[in-house]
Amino acid sequence: MDTKPNSCSEPVFVITRVFEVPRDLAWKAFTEPERMKQWWGPKGYTVIVSNMDFRPGGTYHYCLQAPNGMKMWGKFVYREISAPEKFVAVTSFSDEKQGVTRHPMSPSWPLLMLSTFTFTEDKGNTTLTVQWSPISPTDEELKTFKDGTSAMIQGWTGTLDQLSDYLAGADHELVIMRTFDAPQEVVFRAWTDPKVMAQWWGPKGFTTPLCELDVRQNGAIHIHMKGPDGTIYPMMGAYKEIIRPELLVFSGIPLDDKESPLFETLNRVMFIKQRNETRLTLRVRVVMKTPEAAPYIEGMLQGWAESLDRLASHLAKV
């Protein structure tokens, strides 16, 4: 960490971390909302809302939930993007309607911050440099910022620790959390009734002409997804654990055009009842892969995110 004046004579907080991953992967962790949702925030916090419009003038609007249940909203407004080397944003605390608000625990914290994220690659590793400075602070805000060095170090260290953990497993496991405006039993049925599942399964633009589910221990799964160009993508699998209506654990094995396995995932879906809503946590772990599987695994997060978007649209009509 370092503090030094910038061109506007304001102090700058700087923190640097080296990650043992290619720059493209580190860049995606900051610029794709589903990836950002996996790690953003101090240790112990989870991202429960992650909406991103990644372009100059666009925003990232998010909500963190603390271990005690407290919710904290925040916002980025992107000023400059030079992929995959750097992006600059004005960051602030926020509310549910994207308004700018004060720090919920430090009212004299600067209202707006200029945040610069720089990504430098060397021999397959990525150095991330974060620069943080207040924008047009009052004297009181400036003092709070200068006095907050230790807190900034602690907060950013915890956040980058979470990023490090995410990047270490980014090629092998993903976690997606969604809250659906539907009862637990209805959401569980959407995953276990083949007629219902066929209505939402698969990425945007895909259909599911074949959906056979034998929902019991070791029961078989046989699914065909059909892409917008007519290509059929077959998948097989089996149920490992079923606790109605709280948990599904099943394997998924996409097949190539010769019906040979491309890779295998172990999928754990938890359904948590929250009044009339359901909080869903999906954990997908790659347990086997072939060299040909790389592009499919690369697109796995987007595919699941779009599938869950389709599930949300389906449930809204029920």
Average pLDDT of the chain to the nearest whole number: 92
14-20: average pLDDT: 95
What domains are defined for the chain? 2-170 (3.30.530.20), 174-317 (3.30.530.20)
- End-to-end CA gap in the chain: 52
Residues 6+ apart with CB under 8 A from 30: 36, 87, 117
pLDDT of residue 170: 61
Tell me the C-alpha distance between 76 and 92, whole Å: 7
Residue 309, exposed/middle/buried by CB under 10 A (0-12, 13-18, 19+)?
Answer: middle
Answering whether pTM is above 0.85, one says: no
For 140-188, how does the pLDDT look when each residue is reduced to its tens digit (9 = 90+)? 999 999 999 999 999 999 999 999 988 876 666 788 999 999 999 999 9
Please, are residues 186 and 202 in contact by the beta-carbon 8 Å criterion? no
Tell me the C-alpha distance between 200 and 208, whole Å: 8
For 49-86, how does the pLDDT look when each residue is reduced to its tens digit (9 = 90+)? 999 999 999 999 999 999 898 999 999 999 999 999 99
Largest Cα span, the chain: 69
